[in-house]
Structure 1
């Protein structure tokens, strides 16, 4: 008998993965986690160019991120 998805999700749940969940894809979120970026305030300490150099970040991901940041009145630092 197989496990239900809810049971698997409950076991693997990690609250740190909630930052930007549903906004950008997991590889990009994992790259931010490796850089210890876990809030919009910390993200605003980086330029768009610096973020583009991280694994998982391309034009589409950065565009989604910029839209979300703008909605929350947070912006990348100037290069």
Structure 2
């Protein structure tokens, strides 16, 4: 029990983890509701972290919102 509330994000560099946590994102499903550009605007998000997030979303059959 309780696993629904726990973060399920992949292993990311510390600045990227802090950026997501600071913006209130802890789950991949939350990121799938955002445009990729919105996530990139978070301070601390770099290309490596974005690649990791894209791959993690794809593994779950998810992706960033387009347009």
Residue correspondences, number: 63
- TM-score by length of structure 1 reads 0.68
Q: What runs of 5+ residues in structure 2 fail to find an aligned partner?
A: 1-5
Task: Report the structure number with the largest CA radius of gyration.
Answer: 1
- TM-score by length of structure 2 reads 0.78
Q: What runs of 5+ residues in structure 1 fail to find an aligned partner?
A: 1-15
Pick 1 or 2: higher relative contact order, CA cutoff 8 A, min separation 6: 2
Q: Cα RMSD over matched residues? A: 1.9
CA displacement 1:14-59 (0-9 Å, x = unmatched): xx6x54252x112111111111111111111111101111111122
